[in-house]
Amino acid sequence: MDAIYFGWLGLVIGFVLWWWNEYWYIIPLKFKCSKSATKLPPGHMGLPFIGEMISFLWYFKIVRRPDDFINAKRHKYGDEVGMFRTHLFGTPSIIVYTPTIHKFVLHSEDKFKAEWPTIELMGRNSIVAVHGKAHMRVRNFVTNAINRPEALNRIATLVQPRMVAALQSWAQMGKIKARFETQKMTFENIGKLFFSKEPGPFLNSLDKLYQDLLLGVRAYPINIPGFAYHHALQCRRKLDDFFGMELDNRKNKDKVETIDLMDGLMQIEDDDGDKLSDKEVVDNIVSLVAAGYISTSLASTWAIYLLAKYPIVLKKLREENMAFRKGSPEDFITPKDVSNLKYTNKVVEEVIRMANIAACAFRKVDTEVDYKGYKIPKGWNVILLLRYLHTDSKNFKDPMNFNPDRWNEPAKPGTYQPFGGGQRLCPGNTLARIQLALLLHHLSIGYKWELINPNADIIYLSHPAPVDGVEVKFSKL
Ligand code: HEM
């Protein structure tokens, strides 16, 4: 009798929990929709509070097939409009996964606002935090500082010595974890390019501050001692102190030469002759380092991994780069050489496509939107699954195959968005591409390497990477 009673009770509780979010979020909206011709996108809102997080984590963390999260939904609800409703990261959300709707969302900044949950860590004046005209203004400064021709020319000159030194030291070690070593090399180059600091104990301490800051960006914003977010805020304050002092030192110099990104941010003037305020310079240099650090180093890690997996690609890459080799493998190449390295540039794109470093982009719906007869409710999140564009066989033939030759033809419009799009298109994309091409040059002409665990699993959270950190045997050619 008891067993039957508890069985029924369990069923009833299960039923209520399963449908709770639907009643809570959807029924009021459906009532509104019934008065208009629009309807909500298909989908399910999951359990109270956690929504569909279990399913998301199941695909991303446990079975490690992230794209099947969407495939399962496509299978269940069909492919009508390229979006589903769900509840993820504590918020009712719409997931979008086709080029057309990605374009619509990325190019409608007035309707879909980029929003960071932990904005204090990036700074309220940072490019990622501001909107509308304020965003355009800061963005102009930032893109100008990074992408001025003289800034890009400097990149090639400044990053190659550290790259060459790092590769030589890897060969001496004989066995490395590429993820760890590329991270170290990237931060040393960022130190040089962005704020002219040489490798050493001080730069290492800044590196640690950034690593902890970035842990806080992905953590729940609980500002209590012992929590990652609280510690990240402390790191942020220390970074503010450092960059504030650096700014004062630079302002007190008689003659300021534009040598790095921070100088660029300090000096550039807009059409009205205005410069960024001190706070704006600090917030933006902090967030540029944060945005460029792990992303660029992961691209390098993936290049090492994929080239080891695909020796035929490495052979072609080597042949092309050998032809551009100057006197010795340690000699540097110029940005002009890079633009002539046609196959290398295809390898760069293919690494970035396969690596899917930024799996998603997030937006908050600012005003209710009707899209092709479907309602996207105000206040919900929109999650753009950038990675899914690159792994969908509708967009790329045999998508899981690392094939730089696919770039003999341009990608179909809207299918390749590793750097996002619209007004928030990554301003560091050229910098990231050039750095990767330079690394590919020096790697391919001077070194050989072999994966120690060729079948290592791939993890997808917080960033995609082989679980062993890409352990390789590394030596001179
Ligand atoms: C392979 C390397 C990189 C990848 C895959 C990448 C990816 C992205 C993506 C997808 C976005 C758009 C996010 C959104 O729409 O919400 C973005 C924005 C951004 N990225 Fe990158 N990024 C990379 C390297 C860099 C570098 C090197 C820098 C700095 C120099 C940088 C700075 C930024 C900034 C500041 C934004 C915000 C732009 C804005 O809000 O207007 N990124 N990045």
Has residue 257 got a pLDDT over 70? Answer: no
Has residue 329 got a pLDDT over 70? Answer: no
Sheet holding 360-365, edge to edge: 83-88, 91-96, 381-385, 360-365, 112-114
Residue 377, ligand 1, Cβ within 6 A: no
Atom of ligand 1 nearest to the CA of 423: 41
Instruction: Read off the pLDDT band of 27 (50, 70, 90).
Output: confident
Q: Of 11-20, 26-35, 220-229, 428-437, give the range with the top mean pLDDT.
A: 428-437
Helix, coil or strand: residue 337? helix
Could you tell me which residue, 16 or 299, shows the higher pLDDT? 299
* Topology (CATH level 3) of domain 1-110+359-417: 3.30.43
Backbone angles phi, psi at 83, to 5 degrees: -150, 155
Instruction: Read off the pLDDT band of 37 (50, 70, 90).
Output: low
Residue 385, ligand 1, Cβ within 6 A: no
Residue 436, ligand 1, Cβ within 6 A: no
Has residue 35 got a pLDDT over 70? Answer: no
CA dist 359 and 418 (Å) reads 8
CB 219 within 8 A of CB 228: yes
Q: What is the DSSP string of 215-269?
A: HHHTS----STTSHHHHHHHHHHHHHHHHHHHHHHHHHSSS----SHHHHHHH--
Instruction: Report which of 146, 261, 242, 288 is spatially closest to residue 196, judged by C-alpha positions.
Output: 261
Residue 427, ligand 1, Cβ within 6 A: yes
- What are 274-294's pLDDT values in tens digits? 889 999 999 999 999 999 999
Atom of ligand 1 nearest to the CA of 352: 1
Distance (Å) from CA 29 to ligand 1 centroid: 35
| Mutation to probe ligand 1, out of 148, 426, 435 (largest number of atoms < 8 A from CB) | 426
CA dist 48 and 57 (Å) reads 16
Cis upstream peptide for 462 (omega within 30°): yes
Whether residue 426 is annotated as binding a ligand: the answer is yes
CA dist 216 and 229 (Å) reads 4
Residue 347, ligand 1, Cβ within 6 A: no
Residue 185, ligand 1, Cβ within 6 A: no
- What are 45-56's pLDDT values in tens digits? 999 999 999 999
CA dist 192 and 198 (Å) reads 6
| Mutation to probe ligand 1, out of 142, 144, 295 (largest number of atoms < 8 A from CB) | 295
List the single range of 92-106, 324-338, 408-422 with lowest mean pLDDT: 324-338
> Which residues are within 8 A (CB) of 58 and not within 5 positions of it... i.e. 6 or more apart?
none
> Which residues are within 8 A (CB) of 353 and not within 5 positions of it... i.e. 6 or more apart?
390, 396, 416, 418
Give the pLDDT score at 336: 85
SS (H, E, C) 349-408: HHHHHHHCCCCEEEEEECCCEEECCEEECCCCEEEEEHHHHHHCCCCCCCCCCCCHHHHH
Domain ranges of the chain: 1-110+359-417
Residue 418, ligand 1, Cβ within 6 A: yes
Distance (Å) from CA 114 to ligand 1 centroid: 12
Give the pLDDT score at 108: 95
Q: Let me know if 269 is exposed, middle or buried by CB neighbors in 10 A (0-12, 13-18, 19+).
A: exposed
Residue 299, ligand 1, Cβ within 6 A: yes
Q: In the chain, helix, strand, coil percent, each to 5?
A: 55, 10, 30
| Mean pLDDT of the region 58-87 | 93
Give the pLDDT score at 258: 59
| Mean pLDDT of the region 225-242 | 95
Backbone angles phi, psi at 74, to 5 degrees: -60, -40
